[in-house]
């Protein structure tokens, strides 16, 4: 309860600062700072946290190269994730390397950030190739594979190299952004105990005008995991 109250106070304190920063932002900066508030944390059809989460992002871009950190913190629930990533873009393609790191914020001693030993590390490394189509054909495609770290081994401690593929398409209808998507895995691993579709649905986005120069993005996503027979409806608000 205390954490929820503190979160609400921080939100309303942050709003005037965000409004003022955006109203006076006349030059493009290499820095990006934003935060999502989401009703629950769903990732590639998997529920990682079943309650309200605050998800901050900080990143720096120079040329075609971007480095950053993204996190997700449960509000009133013991969930914490801190990721670090590096992205290189070339035309319509991007190469992404991500380090996923989860920890129990109620017992920080349960995991050690600088422990990289296979079999006991809390890190998971993934490489991905992302294609983003041109404006005339705004399709997106992602292929991602875990290649080191935790939560990606079978009962014999052999690597699963869990792999995920996703296709998406974005378009607009009456100022609403629509993004249908479908994702799956070609074999047993983190996402499913066999090949299957794990992430199907669509996201609807809308910018709410707060002032002449400030818009507040909100979104809702309907997500189905056919392999696990799960369904989610997720609301998200973005501060940037």
Q: Report pLDDT digits (tens) over 19-56.
A: 444 444 556 899 999 999 999 999 999 999 999 999 99
The pLDDT tens digits along the chain (240 residues) read: 444 444 444 444 444 444 444 444 556 899 999 999 999 999 999 999 999 999 999 999 999 999 999 999 999 888 999 999 999 999 999 999 999 999 877 777 778 899 998 878 899 999 999 999 999 999 999 999 999 987 676 656 678 899 999 999 999 999 999 999 999 999 999 999 999 999 999 999 999 988 877 889 999 999 999 999 999 999 999 998
Q: What is the domain range of residue 229?
A: 2-239
Rounded alpha-carbon distances, angstroms, from residue 188 to 3, 20, 103, 201: 38, 49, 25, 22
Residue 178 to residue 219: CA distance in whole angstroms: 10
Residue 147 to residue 125: CA distance in whole angstroms: 6
Q: Report pLDDT digits (tens) over 68-98.
A: 999 999 998 889 999 999 999 999 999 999 9
Tokens representing 238 are 């973005």
State how many domains the chain has.
Answer: 1
Give me the CATH number covering residue 133.
2.40.160.40
Instruction: With beta carbons less than 8 A apart as the criterion, state whether 103 and 110 touch.
Output: yes
């Amino acid at each position: 309860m205390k954490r929820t109250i503190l979160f609400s106070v921080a939100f309303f304190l942050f709003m005037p600062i965000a409004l003022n920063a955006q109203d006076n932002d006349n030059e493009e900066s290499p820095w990006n700072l934003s935060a999502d508030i989401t009703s629950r944390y769903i990732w590639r059809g998997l529920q990682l946290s079943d309650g309200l989460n605050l998800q901050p992002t900080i990143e720096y871009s120079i040329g075609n190269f971007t480095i950053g950190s993204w996190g997700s913190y449960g509000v009133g629930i013991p969930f914490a994730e801190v990721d670090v990533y590096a992205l290189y873009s070339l035309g319509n393609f991007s190469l992404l390397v991500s380090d996923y790191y989860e920890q129990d914020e109620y017992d920080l001693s349960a995991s050690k950030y600088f422990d990289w030993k296979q079999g006991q590390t809390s890190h998971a490394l993934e490489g991905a190739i992302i294609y983003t189509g041109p404006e005339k054909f705004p399709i997106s495609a992602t292929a991602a594979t875990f290649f080191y770290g935790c939560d990606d081994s079978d009962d014999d401690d052999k690597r699963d190299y869990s792999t995920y593929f996703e296709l998406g398409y974005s378009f607009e209808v009456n100022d609403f952004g629509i993004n249908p998507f479908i994702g799956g895995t070609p074999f047993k691993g983190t996402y499913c105990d066999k090949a299957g579709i794990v992430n199907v649905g669509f996201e609807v986005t809308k910018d709410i005008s707060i002032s002449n120069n400030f818009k507040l993005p909100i979104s809702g996503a309907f997500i189905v995991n056919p392999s696990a027979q799960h369904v989610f409806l997720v609301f998200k608000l973005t501060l940037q």
